[in-house]
């Protein structure tokens, strides 16, 4: 249930994961579920506690990017940078490396160092090249494009969002929408209920008649069941 709900209702997902954790706190899978759902729900202090417990259980460094991001979200930038450096020193794979650099760039942005953040992201894009999972490379380019747009470099941002689209055919990011917005191709949908009803009704009022007929049939069925 936690896995099913994490994208749509992270707080309820965390409630399920916490219920499992209380019953089996020594199982890594329950601590991982609690950590990830708490993180998704924005409860970074709880998530950090759970990620720390997981790290003690596993003895590995795979949770360092998430731990660093929790520290960043809690405003403890120096603690976050310390974890980033620790993760980088462990010679991580490309996916973990990208996540660590994203956290580091986020810290630089939080502390007013946007130019340094851009330098870090651009350097990592060049360093990673075509290595690693496409989604990791897409996330790295997305962060760079987003920062370019935020700092007024719309043309460059569009070019990098385009690069994300090519690496992200499953559209796990909204890069295609960002490209469209930058090009002024935003589509607005009219969700006015009255307009929808007007379009749905036939000119001769047949839609209303169909509804009335359906209600009459339902009433008859209820009367038969009562008898």
Q: What is the pLDDT of residues 77-106, one digit of tens each?
A: 999 999 999 999 999 999 999 999 999 999
pLDDT at 221: 42
Mean pLDDT over residues 33-52, rounded?
96
- CA pair distance 70, 74, nearest whole angstrom: 6
Mean pLDDT over residues 134-149, rounded?
95
Task: Let me know the angle formed at the C-alpha of 34 by 31 and 39, rounded to the nearest 5 degrees.
Answer: 125
Domain chopping of the chain, boundaries: 1-59, 191-227
The secondary structure of residue 1, as a DSSP letter, is: -
Where do runs of H (alpha helix) occur along 44-153? Answer: 44-58, 64-73, 77-89, 94-110, 114-128, 134-150
| Total residues belonging to the chain | 227
Give Cβ neighbours of residue 166 (< 8 Å, ≥ 6 apart): none
Taking only the tens place, the pLDDT of each residue in 170-210 is: 889 999 999 999 988 655 555 554 444 444 344 444 444 44
Give Cβ neighbours of residue 205 (< 8 Å, ≥ 6 apart): none
With a pLDDT cut of 70, the percent of the chain lying above it is: 81
Mean pLDDT over residues 9-15, rounded?
95
CA 167 to chain centre: 17
With a pLDDT cut of 90, the percent of the chain lying above it is: 74
């Amino acid at each position: 249930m936690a896995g099913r709900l994490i994208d749509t209702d992270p707080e309820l997902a965390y409630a399920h994961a916490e219920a499992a954790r209380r019953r089996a706190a020594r199982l890594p899978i329950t601590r991982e579920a609690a950590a990830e759902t708490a993180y998704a729900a924005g409860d970074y202090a709880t998530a950090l506690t759970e990620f720390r417990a997981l790290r003690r259980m596993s003895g590995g460094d795979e949770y360092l990017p998430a731990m660093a991001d929790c520290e960043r979200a809690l405003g403890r930038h120096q603690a976050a940078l310390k974890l980033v450096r620790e993760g980088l020193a462990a010679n991580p794979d490309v996916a973990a490396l990208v996540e660590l650099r994203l956290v580091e760039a986020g810290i630089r942005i939080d502390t007013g160092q946007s130019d340094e953040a851009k330098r870090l992201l651009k350097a990592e894009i060049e360093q990673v090249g075509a290595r690693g999972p496409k989604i990791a490379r897409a996330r790295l380019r997305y962060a760079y494009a987003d920062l370019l747009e935020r700092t007024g470099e719309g043309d460059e941002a569009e070019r990098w969002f385009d690069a994300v689209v090519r690496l992200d055919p499953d559209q796990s990011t909204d890069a295609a929408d960002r490209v469209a917005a930058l090009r002024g191709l935003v589509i607005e949908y009219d969700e006015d209920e009255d307009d929808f009803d007007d379009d749905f009704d036939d000119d001769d009022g047949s839609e209303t008649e169909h509804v009335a007929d359906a209600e009459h049939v339902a009433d008859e069925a209820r009367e038969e069941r009562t008898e």
